[in-house]
A and B are shown apart, each in its own frame.
Chain A
């Protein structure tokens, strides 16, 4: 089955640090990847859609300069949380769709738990 790898699993860092999270599709090409954020016991909130070779599409209320997304290849998207603060602490999950249309499932990475001190 389709596998999405996300790295790192855990990050603990000081306020003001920038953190990069990688999302890779291991056995399929993904022209589109998605970044979600999840608070404890809450739903997955879409942050942005990452498109290979073009700019990401951000959801309303998500700061583009705060959450930098790069989709450099068909198998890799990165999310960089710049100058992170305690309120950025959360569970970040990426997903990738096997095909280009919505009739294909989105497969999720294992998530990254980010804690800003």
Chain B
């Protein structure tokens, strides 16, 4: 079942922060976050596993609330290079393929 992402789109000025949410109606095994730029393939950002955890590198981090079946991606002090469409992909078990949300289009302007 396709996870629900919010917001659908967001416009930021450089240096501002953003949060993108991903929720599922089913129990999740893992949540994967990707960023896709126009005309390109998705690029892997990070993966979070059930058990509830938080990960991050540099100014992009994410959390996974297993009980709520939700994950959030945090972008701090955004840069122009952060622009793109962010997808969360969810898996219900260790053997199932990822099902992607509809994406969140992020535009960072100077």
Contact = CB atoms under 8 A, between A and B. Distances in A.
Interface of A: 6, 32, 34, 36, 42-46, 49, 93, 100-111
Contact of A103 (B30, B44, B87, B99): B30
Nearest to A94: B41
Contacts of B34: 108
Contacts of B30: 102-103
A6 B95 CA distance: 23
Contacts of B43: 108
B75 interface: no
Given A102-B96, A108-B42, A44 B47 contact: no
13 contacts: A32-B97, A44-B100, A45-B100, A46-B97, A101-B94, A102-B95, A103-B94, A105-B47, A106-B32, A106-B89, A108-B42, A109-B41, A111-B40
B87 A107 contact: no
Interface of B: 2, 29-30, 32, 34, 40-44, 47, 49, 87, 89, 91, 93-103
Given A43-B101, A43-B102, A43-B103, A103 B47 contact: yes
Contacts of B96: 102
A109 B87 CA distance: 16
B34, B42, B49, B101 interface centre (most CB from chain A within 10 Å): B42
A46 B41 CA distance: 14
A21 to B, nearest CB: 13
